[in-house]
Structure formats: C-alpha cells, structure tokens
Amino acid sequence: MISGRRIKVLVVDDSAIVRKILTDTLSEEKDLEVVGTAPDPYVARDKIVALAPDVITLDIEMPRMDGLTFLKRLMHHHPIPVIVISSIAQPSCQAALDALRWGAVEVMAKPGGPYSVGELRLTLANKIRAAAAARVRRASAEPPPPPPRPALPRLAQALRTNSQESKVVIAIGASTGGTEAIQQVLMHMPGDGPGIVITQHIPPVFSLAFANRLNQICPMEVKEAVDGDQVLAGRALIAPGNFHMVLRKAGAGYRVAIKDGPMVCYQRPSVDVMFASVAEVAQASAIGVLLTGMGSDGAQGMLRMKRAGAGTIAQDEASCVVFGMPKEAIKTGVVDVVAPLDGIAALITRAVAEARP
C-alpha cells in the first residue's frame, strides 16, 4: 500500500480480453485497485488526469498511437511508473526494450502462448508493488543512441582465440530497473575483463533481445546463455528468461548449466540460485554484485558468497530504481562496498587488478 491506501492502477491495452484478465488478476489483491482501463493512449490520457493512477500497465501495439510514443510523451510531461506488458513477437520485444530506456520500470510478456495466465498471476501483483515504489525521472530529451560497439582489444581477442577460461568470475543480479543498470555496468567494463554471469528478472524471449542489444554496444561479448557455455574472459552470459543459471567447474575454468526448477523468491531465474552456485565452485575467486530490484532475491546467495571468501558489492539507494534487493543484502552485513551505479564497474576492475599476482 501507499501511505495506508491501495495502489491505484490504470490498465491500457487495446484488447478487451487482456484488459479483463489484468483487471480480474489485480482485483484479487487487497492492496491493489484497478481504477480504470483504456483501449488506447488518447483515452488513457484523459483517465490519467481524472483518476491519478499510481501505476500504469501499457501495451506497445495499439491503434491511433503506439505505446512507445505515448510513453515518451508521458515520461516527459507527467512521469508515472509504467509496466509494459507486451507480446513476445520480435518487433514488440524490441519496442519493449526501448520502453525501458525511456523510463518504463518493468517489462512483462502478455498472457498467451508460452506465458500462461497462471504465471501472470504469480508475478503481476509484485511487479505493480515494485513499480509503485520506483523512482521515476522526467524524460527531458531523446536518449542518446547507443554508441557503436568498441573494437575488441587485442588482448581480449587473443584470450578468446585461445579459449582462455576466466580465472575470476563476476556474478551480477538485478530486477526492477536492472536492464539499464546492467547496461551501464557492462558499458564501462573492459573488453578483456573477467567472465561475467548475470541473472536479471526478465521474461523469456525478452532476455535474448536484451543480450543481443548489449552485445552491439558493450566492449565485452554479451550473449544469452545456453547450457554448457564457457565462462570466458571478455564474455558476459545472461540467464535465459524462465530458467535458472548455475555455475559449474569445468577443468581449470567454468561453464554454466541452464536448468528448470521451482521459483526461488518468486523468481525464475533466481539470483540466489546463481549466487549459491558461484559460492560453491568459485569461492574466493568471485565478486558478487547486487543491483536495483524489489524483494530479497540475492541476499541469501550473497551471504553464501561472502562466507566462501568472495567480494561483495551492492548498489546504493540513491541510484537504485527500487532499493529492495540491495537493501536486504546490506541488512545481512555481508556487503563489502555500497556504491553508486556509475562507480561499480571501476570498483570491479580495480578489485580484479589488485587481486592479480
């Protein structure tokens, strides 16, 4: 709840069926209230003025005005936490990722196809609560286009050519607001840096589009992980949506395993699952990083990493969209450094350099 009252939600989608599914799902929650629905952005605009919602769910593909155009105008003139609920078709998937750049706090897959109404019910209410607590900022100008991917440094190219296993593993976990936070960290990591494994709470298909986008703009290679992928210097692996990713020892290096399994902290992929595996196999040769997100996923895993001798970093409150996951880890007393987002890549790089013989 917000200051003792229910969180007010406006549902914007051109499909009457989807509007009903979302409304019925949220009506089961005592702390949430759907105050209205809208079939397109023009109706939504009037209802925002009349109903003052705390959170908006927004479709991308709509008549008269598409959701991304509406979001740009909304975040410029009247910023409100927005959750994009989009189809997993490729054009919509790309537009949903653009929406995150424009200030949407979360992206979810529409019910139907591989994503069932039951799965939506498990996660939607918590996403709404996270969005209501999120910091949203007014969009004042067009976000700058991503720079071209830098030329691969010679050392990183040599490492990849020789299939050099990464000796140090960086494990990063994030949720609400995490796609932009992860991008900022990876953009400032050297192309020949240690191997990175990443768990971001994100639906299937969107995780692939997210990895592909980062691969185009980051110095490191970035890819959605597949079972058996090597953790290499100069490579970042992102857990696929709806699957856990764990680290496994493989000779002198590491590989990842992709597996099904129950949700942990209401999440799959789960940061706790990944962190626990890193603690087990990499032990002191690892750094755990916990970024913005609601809930407690990652706190217990980071505790296990710290007990195994790993270094630990948490994003500070001021730079988080939602200071939930980092806060829970900090409360356990196992975080070595609490840092603003724009300083985390430098912290990792310095720690790795100092750890080398």
291: tokens are 């970024």
The single residue of 166, 201, 229, 285 carrying the catalytic annotation is 201
DSSP 256-306: EEEE----BTTBSS-HHHHHHHHHHHTTTSEEEEE-SBSSSTTHHHHHHHH
- 297 catalytic per annotation: yes
And the tokens for 115? 């994503």
Burial class of 230 by CB neighbour count within 10 A (0 to 12, 13 to 18, 19+)? middle
Q: Bridge-partner residues for 223, per DSSP?
A: 237
Q: Helix (H, G, I), strand (E, B), or coil: what is residue 230? A: strand
Cβ neighbours of residue 134 under 8 Å, at least 6 residues apart? 81, 105, 176, 177, 321, 322
Residue 67 carries which side chain, given as an amino acid letter?
Answer: G
Which residues pair with residue 288 across a beta bridge?
171, 312
CA distance 175 to 291: 7
- Which is catalytic among the residues 175, 207, 270, 285? 175
Of the CA atoms within 13 Å of residue 131, those in its CB half-sphere come to: 30
User: Which amino acid belongs to residue 299?
Assistant: A
The C-alpha R_g of the chain, in whole angstroms, comes to 20
Q: Are 11 and 41 in contact (CB under 8 A)?
A: no
d(CA 237, CA 229): 8
Indicate if 87 belongs to the active site.
no
Positions of E strands within 113-214: 169-174, 195-200
Residues constituting the chain: 357
* Active-site choice (40, 272, 297, 316): 297
Active site residue 270: no
**Residue 319 DSSP class:** G
| Catalytic positions, written as ranges | 175, 201, 297
